[in-house]
Amino acid sequence: MDYDPSNEKKAIDDTKAGVKGLVDSGIVEIPRIFIRPSHELAEELTMCKSTLQVPVVDLSGIEVEDERKKIVNEIRDASEKWGFFQLINHGVPSSVLEGMIDGTRKFHEQDVEVKQEYYSSDPTRGVRFESNLQLLTTKGRNATWKDTLYISKLVSEPDEIPEVCRKILVEYKNHVIKLGDILLGLLSEALGLKPDHLKAADCDKGLMLACHYYPACPQPELTLGTGKHTDPVFLTILLQDQSGGLQVMRDNQWADVEPIEHGLVINIGDLLQIVSNDKFVSAIHRVVANKVGPRISAASFFTGGSTPPKMYGPIKELISDENPPLYKEFLATDYTAKYFSKPLDTRDLFRL
């Protein structure tokens, strides 16, 4: 008989307790909805692991002209070759970073009755707690071993943020906005543009935060914490704890993004690859599951969600007879809608 994942999905959804609820119930085998397809598991066994390390960029000295040039060059190199880099001396206080990890943990580890009021699969809800079941299973993909608190109303309605982590989320958000402005300036310069170019194009708008909680998994070799994907945004700033597990694809091999204490991981999103006309790359990445947990991370996404919606395409200043546009123009909202209805390679739908 054909396997129908919807019954398992409904059973987990109905608890409104997420993946952590499964772990707390004492399961020793993961439900089938989480098990990766056999061809993927077989492919995993033959794949080589990369020993390459994601570049590290030190932002100290950014106000000094020669240092700034060096930083811009490093960011350009990392954005062209990796689409990923780690950032140190970025100006976000270590107490705020630690507080953010702690606040995320507190939300996910509070009584399930308190969390349940936020449980929803409705992506239009400004604040929601979910376990990615809706998204992944409707696209014919297996679910992954994590719970997430999504917050998209970060700026306008802080009162809707759960009280247990509200204060630190708002404080962290303010630092992320500042850092986002600095990074978009450096990335503009790395493209040979004026420092304010990407910000003037509203690439800093539409900030959304995803606070992830990856519980310990009894069978980590059968599932993933986050499946392979690219980010359908301009830029992602990721705070991860010291657990490890994040991997980026480089030369068809998975490279570990080793945690750096008080460091942040920066990655180029699809929209920045498109507006840079493929000068920068939006790399495929994933998170592996682990027998030990929880792993905690917080991803801040700059989605470009401006009002009214804006048309995006390759930046005119980067286009020439030798470098013709590779993409047609589109609304960022259309890109996101297509991304969530199609698993990977959404960029190809917009190629000329």
Determine the Cα–Cα distance for residues 67 and 351; give it in Å rounded to an integer.
Answer: 37
Specify whether the CB–CB gap between 317 and 194 falls below 8 A. Answer: no
- Give which of 231, 294, 254, 192 is closest to 49, Cα–Cα: 254
Asked if 248 and 229 count as a contact pair (C-beta separation under 8 A), the reply is no
Query: Do the bridges between strand 264-268 and strand 246-250 make them parallel or antiparallel, or are there none, so unpaired?
Result: unpaired
Per-residue pLDDT tens for 82-115? Answer: 999 999 999 999 999 999 999 999 999 999 999 9
Q: Which pair of structure tokens corresponds to residue 114?
A: 């308190």
| More confident of the two residues 337 and 291 | 291
Backbone angles phi, psi at 55, to 5 degrees: -60, 150
Are residues 100 and 110 in contact, defined by beta-carbon separation less than 8 angstroms?
no
* SS3 state of residue 333: helix
Token pair listed for 121: 């699969």
Q: Pick the more confident residue, 220 or 159.
A: 220
More confident residue, 82 or 13: 82
Cβ neighbours around 330 below 10 Å, total: 16
User: What percentage of the chain has pLDDT greater than the value 70?
Assistant: 94
What confidence tens digit (pLDDT) does each residue in 34-50 have?
999 899 999 888 888 88
Residue 291: name the closest of 212, 238, 225, 211 by CA: 225
- Give the DSSP H/E element, type plus range, for residue 335: helix 332-339
Cβ distance 350 to 339 under 8 Å?
Answer: no
Please count the helices (runs of H) and the strands (runs of E) in the chain: 11, 15
CA distances from 231 to 10, 22, 258, 294, 301 (A): 27, 28, 20, 23, 8
Please report the pLDDT score of residue 105 as a whole number. Answer: 98
- Both tokens of 211, joined, read 């606070």
Whether the CB-CB separation of 170 and 161 falls below 8 Å is answered with: yes
Write the pLDDT tens digit of every residue in 57-76. 999 989 999 999 999 999 99
Q: Give the strand pairing for 84-88 and 56-58.
A: parallel
User: What DSSP assignment string belongs to 116-176?
Assistant: HTTB---TT-SEEEE-SHHHHHHTT----S-EEEEE--TTT-GGGS-GGGHHHHHHHHHHH
Mean pLDDT of the chain: 91
